[in-house]
């Protein structure tokens, strides 16, 4: 692994983060969270809409909160000024902490009062309940508007989908965020639902994996991580998969591997 600066804050995060959506085994998830922190993946991502996740994270980080960078999100249906303040308080209670490191608006809906959401974010920062603020699933245009509304504070993160079948952020969002000093986090890096398992493309990934003595998912993660200023958020409840994902970054793909992946999984 390597580190990525969060915006222009001077805070450096591992380029891998552990997600907590759709938890099936709470005990296993707690064990994996603690293992992740011990292995250097200390950025834990959650949200109020992930059923039970904040409570599970809170239990897992009890006694090690000072070693964890914690991200959670407010849902758009709660994103009025007072609703955001109340949602943050509820998240803090579930997480068992006095503050979150990064607080995001989970996505933007037509009826989301963005001015109120960001005014609440300013209040939460001034109260010490949130260190940094950002957004999730925002386009460049939406991000530009949010930046203007949030002044004099700076948004430091946009969390978006990023995987082999969805690389469109490389065309516009990623270059814009690099220029603006906003860190991009990519979630669902292993979502390959539009790649049939018996397709020539997936078999090509398997051939690359066999040549390197790795799993196909290690190749996927390694390829996406070539954008060395992106944080990749993956979810697993198994410590062995956590270890495999970390190990996926301890080698380099050959130039011809990258060229083949670029050609077959174009943005």
Choice among 50, 162, 187, 217 that is catalytic? 50
Please state the φ and ψ torsions of residue 258, each to the nearest 5 degrees: -65, -40
d(CA 210, CA 181): 38
Start-to-end Cα distance in the chain: 24
Q: Do residues 77 and 51 lie in contact, with contact meaning Cβ atoms separated by under 8 Å?
A: no
Cα-Cα-Cα-Cα torsion 217, 265, 136, 40, nearest 10 degrees, comes to: 30
Mutual angle of helices 26-38 and 239-247, in 10-degree steps:
30
Check if 81 is active-site.
Answer: no
Which amino acids are annotated catalytic? 50
């Amino acid at each position: 692994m390597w580190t990525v600066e969060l915006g222009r804050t001077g805070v450096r995060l591992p380029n891998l983060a552990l997600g907590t959506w759709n938890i099936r085994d709470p005990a296993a998830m707690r064990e994996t969270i603690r293992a992740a922190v011990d292995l250097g993946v200390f950025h834990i991502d959650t949200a109020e809409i992930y059923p039970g996740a904040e409570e599970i994270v809170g239990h897992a980080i009890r006694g090690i909160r000072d070693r964890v960078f914690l991200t959670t999100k407010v849902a758009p249906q709660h994103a009025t000024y007072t609703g955001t303040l109340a949602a943050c308080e509820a998240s803090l209670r579930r997480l068992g902490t006095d503050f979150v490191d990064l607080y995001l608006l989970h996505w933007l809906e037509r009826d989301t009062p963005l001015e109120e959401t960001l005014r609440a974010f300013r209040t939460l920062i001034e109260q010490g309940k949130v260190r940094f603020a950002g957004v999730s699933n925002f386009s460049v245009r939406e991000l530009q508007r949010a930046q203007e509304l949030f002044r004099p504070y700076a948004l430091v993160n946009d969390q978006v989908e990023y995987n082999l079948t969805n690389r469109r952020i490389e065309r516009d969002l990623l270059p814009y965020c690099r220029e603006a000093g906003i860190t991009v986090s990519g979630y669902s890096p292993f979502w390959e639902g539009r790649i049939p398992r018996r397709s020539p493309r997936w078999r090509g990934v398997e051939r690359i994996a066999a040549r390197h003595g790795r799993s196909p998912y290690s190749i996927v993660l390694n390829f996406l991580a070539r954008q060395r200023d992106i944080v990749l958020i993956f979810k697993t409840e198994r410590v062995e998969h956590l270890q495999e994902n970390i190990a996926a970054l301890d080698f380099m793909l050959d130039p011809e591997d990258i060229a083949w992946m670029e050609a077959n999984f174009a943005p």
